Structure 1
Amino acid sequence: MGIVKSQTSLETSWDVIVIGSGAAGLSAAVFAALEGARVIILERSHFVGGTSALSAGSVWIPNTRHAAETGVEDSVEEAGAFLDAAVGNRSPRSMRDAFLRLGPEAVARLEAETDIRFRSRPFHPDYLYELAGSKTAGRAIEALPFDGGSLREALHSVRPPLPEFTVLGGMMVDRDDIAHLLKLTKSAMSFVYSVGLVGRYAIDRLRFGRGARMVMGNALVGRLLKSALDLGVTVAIEAEVTDIAGDPDARTVTLRRNGAEQTLTATGGVILASGGFARHPQRRLEFLPDPVPEYTPAAPAGTGTMHDIALKLGAVYGEGAEQPVFWAPMSRRRRKDGSMAVFPHFVLDRSKPGIFCVGRDGRRFVNESTSYHKFVIAMYAANREGATIPAFEVTDAAGLRKYGLGMIRPGGQRLAPFLRDGYLTKADTLPDLARKLDIDAQGLEETVADMNRYAETGVDEAFQRGSTVYECGNGDPMHKPNPTLGPTRTPPFYAIKLYPGEIGAAVGLTTDTDARLLDRDGQVIGGLYACGNDMQSIMGGVYPGPGINLGPAIAFAYAAGKHAAGRRN
């Protein structure tokens, strides 16, 4: 039936019912369908893709066939030792071992039997590079860019990327595209590449009303959706699940569509992939530290209500995670339509020369080139009565022009709207900048003096910024002597505010290695599964490398889809 809107009635009997249409839900549906099951996906919103569609799309799965493309040698033993060192007893080792086995199998099957294609980057290091067993590349893979036009009408059901991650009003770009666009007037090859990119986007806008060339998370979702539809999976959008009941051999799912209720039955199982507790007000207060982030970049449909239903059926939350979520610093800006843009600061600015972060005392509190997860942990650790929440990301005219700052792209053009709405603060002198930000002027001036000295020596005496392969990789490789340290001398000076934000749940429902839900006694709750952010993370609230949300999501979706399909009558 393809994608079904709320006006169309649904068949009532299925082998497998999947709740949620992000990467985890789509993957689970694909794997169940590959086993011959009749599968339906129930998606609460009118878009498919969840938060996965908004993400960078990195998938951390060691020892796929793509690892060899990078020339970096790896093994299951090395990856396991790395995870042991990073995660320790914060998650069961049996779950991590299952992930290392399932992940490569899942990728191999997707590429052999569906339209999904991945690639490795020649340089994409683990974040905790200081640990034994870390690698510079090969573990993080990403979906190849995808022609969304092949989805036909279903293209319009894919959740669009964050507007702030696009150019020209909706053109998706990845790191390759950005590199060429920045060299548009300096390289003939980049000029031709960029003209082709923009021309393709213009044609797509005429044909489809949106960009159809998908990259990053949109490419992953687009490829998974195409594969699911080709396999006969039904995707019901605007379908709000209100209850799950029945016995292990015939789970029933009650849903509300177009104001009416309907009950579906699954003989194989029901797979929860609804996105975790991201927007559940009570869970946020229970799990997140104070101050609880006011805004989240998670997709709007991730309300966490599936957790309430699962808990009533005997499911339990996992324990032992170092952090309840995976963090990233965010800047915020009100869009013209009144919605709040929540922009994650991954690697584009924090690690660049001439850019640094301070608290209200005007002094640094963190190694800015550390991972985004550890950055926010440091924000909370240093916060005393609002000392570092928000934090202030500072640069000068040269830094802003060369690297941009948050939502402000390199070049330093068209700053007036950002200054007018307060997203960006500008001042001709450091004391004036401190006054406008209400931070300590002496602390800020002394910090800048220190950073200018570090820029000359290449050594950050306070936080050792730029001392690992991962940190240097996020800097400017052309800048010497340290790619992450540069002077801040050229007025005017600029700053934006950074807040904590979460990009995925570490706390989720407890499962076994087949992704089956477990009760408080460790017994299987028959016919119920969880994957993605609905499942307790195997990473234990630690962030070892890029894509550690999506990698396990796909691996355990593989386990859930196969197992549920195998139970069907």
Structure 2
Amino acid sequence: MNTLEPDQHPIDVIVLGSGAAAFASAVTAASQGLNVVMVEKAAQFGGTSAISGGAVWLYGTDQARAAKVKDSEEAMRTYLKHVIGDGYDSTLVDAFIEHGHQALRWLEHHTELRYALRPHSPDYYPDAPGATECGRALEMVEYDGRRLGARLKDLQMPPPGMLLFGGMMVNRLDIQHFLSVRRSPRSLWHCLRLLARYGVDRLRHPRGTRLTTGNAMIARLATSAFAKGVQLWLRSEAEELIVEHGAVTGVVIRRGGHRHRLLAKGGVVCAMGGFAAGRLAASYRPDLPGTHLTMSPASNDGAALRLARAVQAAVGRGLAANFFWAPVSQVRHSDGQYERFPHLVTDRAKPGVIAVDNSGRRFVNEADSYHHFVETLFAKGMASCWLICDAQAMNRYGLGLARPKPVNNQALIDAGYLYRADTPEALAQAIGVDVQGLAHTLQAFNADAQAGLDPVFGKGANAYNRYMGDPQHRPNPCLAPLQTAPYYAIQLHTGDLGSACGLVTDANANVLDESGQPITGLYAVGNDMNSMMKGTYPGPGITLGPALTFGWLAANHITARLQAPSILKEHTACTTK
């Protein structure tokens, strides 16, 4: 076994992974004087967080207080009790409510992390007791990727389908401006400015340097972490935890074909993104025939569960869902490469768009959350469905990877991703859907949609639905008849954004063993931590909010342990062997 030389600087904390939770732990520890090494299996850093929307869902932030938002701890608990149900864990929820806003304040004060309050962002179940229409969801402030310097090339880029023109990032507001570019001079000016910036960027860089959403979040945290001396090892895989006297004291790492034995005074933080892309995932999903598509990077293969099980760590059980669900579509390009697209915000809720099963019937409120949408698919024993729109909706909003007018989407049609037909009957035949069933669906739906009503599924009937629709469309921002040829369809599959089941922890993110006792020196955060939401999805940012919170708490707990005299005596010589 190859080893590091003993004269290397001593390590205080080893963080496995490089997403939001990993960087929150690393930068918090480094800011308090600890020596931190981050170990990332992939060739680039950022993981799922870097391709996410970047939103966080937290109670009582400084941003919410400044906006005089009406909310309370009791309302937050009431809402979470209602949504989570029997899986509600008061210990974790109380820690999240009490420390979430403290963690964000600390990170914004000590790093370049910056969030802004969404002025209107309803919880995903807006009619549930304790729900709010604004105040809990915050979105990432854009960032200049040039601040990362040479490290920008190592930052995980979102998939091409989530970018414009091959490398231009946009956020929620940018998308609204692009959709309104032909209707609003203000939106036209906004888009022209973005295009000009992107054009200048591409003269010197392989991508746009204006970073938004999760890419900006990771870039902000990483810039600060690197400035504070955090070391990041890419293409490095954790193979085995090192246990001494009942405590986790390090990791065996394979890097560059060599094995390294790293010891850390404070222990190890698992933040490797869960197991959604690994072989383990299939055994945690409902068993349905068909294709399931995850948005998790291939490196999220369940390494934390494998490592921690060897030290008798407890794994979550009885979650409402073991994953954070989302419908996903997929195209196979002419070069043989596959590209996936998560249908989160851009199409399902828009007017003139419906989802149907193979009988041609609607089965769900298309404007409900992506997690609920896939829950409905599973409940009905369906592994896929069809998303359908007419020309008016396509021209205005697009459909999945298909862009709105004036983009030519012929390549997607040629690839078999996007279907187009001159009549609903021809479209039904092309996609293998019952012709009469679709005809009856459109006849009934169009009549109701014209009046802005959906008596069957209630699309557009609640605050969250309307928020996701088109605010400029009347009388219902989510409803319009499908009556303008040609007609379009794409196939949606059950999919996920990552795993919710993980290692059981206490409120400090300290992993518990099967008897419920903390395993000294072992922590789990992000999707490696068994979700405090227990497989439910209460609002936007319910993965990243806890990720930052418990990443911060884990680092503080480690720091406190290292500052205790007994710990210092035990580990005065812990470097590498």
TM-score (norm 2): 0.93
- CA distance in 2: counterparts of 1:245 and 1:288, whole angstroms: 35
Of residues 191, 199, 212, the one that matches 2:209 is: 212
For residues 8 and 50 of structure 1, what CA distance do their matches in structure 2 show?
A: 30
CA contact (8 A) 2:169 2:208 kept: yes
Displacement of 1:470 in angstroms is 0.5
Q: Is the 1:250–1:265 Cα contact (8 Å) retained in structure 2?
A: no
Secondary structure at 2:294 match in 1: coil
Once the two structures are TM-superposed, the CA of residue 261 in structure 1 deviates from its matched residue by 0.8
**How far apart in 1 are the matches of 2:59 and 2:255?**
41
**Which residue of 2 is the match for residue 56 of structure 1?**
53
How many angstroms does 1:477 deviate by?
Answer: 1.8
Q: Can you list the C-alpha shifts for 1:505-553, whole angstroms capped at 9, x where unaligned?
A: 2111100001011111101111000000000101011111001011111
Q: How does 1:339-358 map to 2 (within 5 A)?
A: 339-358=337-356
Return the match for 2:428 from 404, 416, 434. Answer: 434
1:306: how far off? Answer: 2.3
| 2:280–2:302 CA contact under 8 A, matched in 1 | no
Structure 1 residue 122: deviation in Å? 0.6
Amino acid at match of 2:550: F
Q: 1:453 and 1:312, CA in 2 relative to 1: closer, same or farther beyond 3 A?
A: same
- Within 5 Å, which residues of 2 pair with 1:529-568? 529-568=523-562
Give the match for residue 371 of structure 1. 369
Tell me the residue number matched to 1:527: 521
Gaps of 5+ in 1: 1-6
2:21 pairs with one of 20, 24, 49: 24
Report the 3-state secondary structure (helix = DSSP H, G, I; strand = E; otherwise coil) of the residue aligned with 1:104: helix
User: What SS does structure 2 have at the residue aligned with 1:422?
Assistant: coil
Work out whether 1:510 is the aligned partner of 2:504.
yes
Counterparts in 2 of 1:367 and 1:191: CA distance versus 1, 3 Å: closer
Residue 43 of structure 1 corresponds to 40
Q: Give the equivalent residue in structure 2 for 1:3.
A: none
* 1:93 pairs with 2:90: yes
SS at match of 1:567: helix
1:411 — aligned with what? 405
In the other structure, the counterpart of 2:257 is: 259
Residue equivalent to 1:381: 379
Q: Provide the rounded CA distance (Å) in 1 between the counterparts of 2:68 and 2:431.
A: 48
2-structure distance, mates of 1:170, 1:128:
34
Q: Percent identity?
A: 40
Distance in 2 (CA, whole Å) between partners of 1:88 and 1:76 is: 17
Name the amino acid aligned to 2:555.
G
Shift of 1:253: 0.8
Matched, 1:33 2:30: yes
CA contact 1:268–1:527 (8 Å) conserved in 2: yes
Task: Provide the residue aligned with 1:475 in structure 2.
Answer: 469
1:398 to 387, 392, 401: 392
Please report how far the alpha carbon of residue 207 of structure 1 lies from its aligned counterpart in structure 2 after TM superposition.
2.8
> Within 2, Cα distance between the matches of 1:458 and 1:90?
37
Moved more, 493-502 or 184-193: 184-193
d(CA) in 1 for partners of 2:455 and 2:317?
A: 37
Code of the aligned partner of 2:187: S
Query: Which of 282, 285, 288 is equivalent to 1:284?
Result: 282
Amino acid at match of 1:444: L
- Cα–Cα, structure 1 residues 10 and 333, in superposed 2: closer, same or farther, change >3 Å? farther
What SS does the corresponding residue of 1:33 show, helix, strand or coil? Answer: helix
Moved more, 530-539 or 476-485: 476-485
Q: Please list the CA deviations of residues 76-130 of structure 1 after superposition, one character each: whole Å capped at 9, or x if unmatched.
A: 1211111111112213111111111121110010111111111011111100111
- Could you tell me which residue of structure 1 aligns to residue 574 of structure 2? none
Aligned residue among 481, 484, 487 for 2:481: 487
User: In structure 1, what is the Cα distance between the partners aligned to 2:294 and 2:471?
Assistant: 32
Matched, 1:106 2:100: no
Structure 2 vs 1, CA of residues 109 and 306 (structure 1 numbering), >3 Å: closer, same or farther? Answer: same
1:9, distance to aligned residue in structure 2 (A) = 12
Q: 2:150 is aligned with what amino acid?
A: E
CA shift at 1:313, angstroms?
Answer: 0.8
Equivalent positions of 1:79-158 (< 5 A) are: 79-158=76-155
Q: 2:62 aligns with which of 60, 65, 75?
A: 65
Q: Per the alignment, in what secondary structure is the counterpart of residue 255 of structure 1? A: strand
Residues 400 and 412 in structure 1, CA contact (< 8 A), matched pair in contact too: no
Kindly state the Cα deviation for residue 58 of structure 1 after the two structures are TM-superposed: 0.8
Match in the other structure for 1:4: none
Inter-partner Cα distance in structure 1 for 2:143 and 2:20:
15
Structure 2 CA distance, aligned partners of 1:131 and 1:62?
17
Structure 2's unaligned 5+ residue stretches are 563-567, 569-577
| Equivalent residue in structure 2 for 1:299, among 286, 297, 300 | 297
Describe the SS at the equivalent of 2:351.
coil
The answer to which of 146-155 and 297-306 deviates more is: 297-306
Q: CA deviation at 1:396?
A: 1.0
Partner of 2:575: none
**Aligned residues of 1:268 and 1:565 also touching (Cα < 8 A):** yes
Whether contact under 8 Å (1:24, 1:531) holds in the other structure is: yes
Query: How far, CA to CA, are the matches of 1:378 and 1:155 in structure 2?
Result: 40
Identify which range, 20-29 or 472-481, moves more after superposition. Answer: 472-481
- Hey, what's the Cα distance between the residues in 2 that align with 1:11 and 1:485? 63
- CA deviation profile, 1:475-512 (whole Å, cap 9, x unmatched): 11222222111111111111100001111221111000
Deviation of 1:68 after TM superposition, in Å, equals 2.9
Q: Give the counterpart of 1:331 among 315, 329, 332.
A: 329
Tell me, in whole angstroms, the C-alpha distance in 1 between the residues paired with 2:121 and 2:287: 30
Match of 1:322 in 2: 320
Q: Which moved more, 1:291-300 or 1:17-26?
A: 291-300
Give the CA deviation at 1:152.
0.5
Q: Is the contact between residue 14 and residue 265 of structure 1 (CA under 8 Å) also seen in structure 2?
A: yes
CA gap 1:479/1:262 in 2 versus in 1, 3 angstroms: same
Using the alignment, how far apart are the partners of 1:315 and 1:10 within structure 2? Answer: 33
1:86/1:130 CA distance change after superposition, 3 Å: same
After superposing the two structures, state which structure 1 stretch, 311-320 or 372-381, moved more: 311-320
CA distance in 2, matches of 1:456, 1:288: 38
Q: Is residue 2:418 matched to residue 1:424? A: yes
Provide Cα deviations, 1:349-388, integer angstroms capped at 9, x if missing partner.
11111110100000011111111101001111112xxxx4
C-alpha change, 1:294 and 1:182, in structure 2 (3 Å) is closer
Measure the CA separation in 2 of the matches of 1:186 and 1:468: 26
Deviation digits for residues 280-321 of structure 1 (CA, Å, limit 9, x no counterpart): 213432444434754311122111122111111111211221
Offset of 1:221 from its aligned partner?
A: 0.3
Does structure 2 retain, via aligned residues, the 8 Å contact 1:504–1:549?
no
Change (3 A) 1:409 1:325: same
Equivalent position amino acid for 1:180 in 2? H
Partner of 1:194: 191
Deviation of 1:403 (Å)? 1.4
The offset of 1:196, in angstroms, is 2.5
Conserved 8 A contact 2:291-2:383: no
